[in-house]
Amino acid sequence: MAMFLLEPCWMYLTTHFNDFQLACLGSFILHESVFFLSGLPFIYLEREGYLSKYKIQAKNNTPAAQEKCITRLLLYHFGVNLPVMIFSYPVFKFMGMRTSLPLPSWKVVSAQILFYFILEDFIFYWGHRVLHTKWLYKHVHSVHHEYATPFGLTSEYAHPAEILFLGFATIVGPAITGPHLFTLWLWMVVRVLETVEAHCGYHFPWSISNFLPLYGGSDFHDYHHRLLYTKSGNYSSTFIYMDWIFGTDKGYRKLKELKNGAEIANKQM
């Protein structure tokens, strides 16, 4: 039923824009809109000190550091992301991406996006561990770790080589399945929201990780940013099971146990 209601909107888009415009420029505009609209509020919260009781780290970024992040992001997005979207268009068309009606059912969309999340998390985990080897960390990944206290927009602040390297994890699933463009857009939206939340620097009572045990979220990833070393752990992008299986979350779990123990002791006093 929901898809039926969306189809007139989709018909308007496909009538007024061709496949290239929708897949490349449309995807870029959608990405920029979702990314900045979801990430900018965390800069405001940090500057004004609102909801500070939910902030994971007491340290704040300076306005200059925040502005540097935004400036570099715009450069990276227009200089790297947009060209990649343009040049990858023939690949996605070859793999079967379509824009025609009818829209896929929610069962198909949900199954594909779940597959993308699982595959992306697996590839990202190993790629991220490689980036934490000594040479690559020093020359590439250290750019992302310039912000030991992350905020939403730092999720995509990275060396151009890293953008291409880890960006592969995001697009390989859709490239394999050749989805409808609607599915690709929805995947892009939820993936952007997920990574912005993981870097937001706040752990709220309504954070997804409080309800989904396998979901990492901001508290899990914030630990990764606090340790500026080549072996910081917590390498996964979305879930936590890869780090648990390979023992790369031991430092984080130990810290959580110490914090929980201290909280229990304080309550008993």
Q: Is the pLDDT of residue 1 over 60?
A: no
Q: Per-residue DSSP letters for the chain?
A: -HHHHHHHHHHHHHHHS-HHIIIIIIHHHHHHHHHHHHHHHHHHHHHHTTTGGGBS-S----HHHHHHHHHHHHHHIIIIIHHHHHHHHHHHHHTT-B-PSSPPPHHHHHHHHHHHHHHHHHHHHHHHHHHTSHHHHHHTGGGGGG-SS--GGGGG---HHHHHHHHHHHHHHHHHH--BHHHHHHHHHHHHHHHHHHTSSB--TT-GGGT-TTB-HHHHHHHHHH--SS------SSBSHHHHHTTTTHHHHHHHHHHHHHHHHHHH-
Q: Is the pLDDT of residue 249 over 70?
A: yes
Q: pLDDT per residue over 105-142, tens digit each?
A: 999 999 999 999 999 999 999 999 999 999 999 999 99
Average pLDDT, whole number, for the chain?
93
pLDDT for position 232:
84
Mean pLDDT across 6-23: 95
Q: Is the pLDDT of residue 230 over 80?
A: no
Q: pLDDT per residue over 197-224, tens digit each?
A: 999 999 999 999 999 999 999 999 999 9
pLDDT for position 68:
98
Domain range list for the chain: 2-206
Per-residue pLDDT band at 259 (split at 50, 70, 90): confident
pLDDT for position 101:
93
pLDDT for position 4:
74
Q: pLDDT per residue over 65-108, tens digit each?
A: 999 999 999 999 999 999 999 999 998 898 899 999 999 999 99
Mean pLDDT across 42-50: 96
- Its pTM stands at 0.94
